[in-house]
Amino acid sequence: MQSEEKFTDDEMYLLVDTVMKQNYAIELVSSQITDIENGLMDVGEEQYTRLLHLYHKLRDLGL
């Protein structure tokens, strides 16, 4: 995919809805957190903290 291509709002909603319905959301977030903690990804502290918050929210909601 070329970098200038963008998803429409409808496509983004559909993607997120599908990920949530298939129960992949927590696995994706967990995997990204693990990659960050193992030094495989370099993100800022703010994004890491936001991912942790999102992970806990997904876990608490049973998603």
All residues at 6 or more sequence positions from 58 whose CB lies less than 8 Å from its CB, including other chains: 25, 26, 29
Whether residue 30 lies inside any domain: the answer is yes
Whether residue 29 lies inside any domain: the answer is yes
DSSP 46: H
From 62, 63, 55, select the one nearest 36 (Cα to Cα): 55
Whether the per-residue pLDDT at 57 is higher than 60: the answer is yes
- Dihedral over Cα of 47, 4, 39, 25: its sign: positive
pLDDT at position 4: 64
Whether residue 6 lies inside any domain: the answer is no
pLDDT at position 13: 96
Q: Name the more confident of 58 and 62.
A: 58
Whether residue 54 lies inside any domain: the answer is yes
Whether the per-residue pLDDT at 61 is higher than 70: the answer is yes
Whether residue 1 lies inside any domain: the answer is no
**pLDDT confidence tier of residue 1, bands split at 50, 70 and 90:** very low
Please count the structural domains in the chain.
1
Domain boundaries, position 49: 21-61
pLDDT tens, position by position, 20-52: 888 899 999 999 999 999 999 999 999 999 999
DSSP 9: H
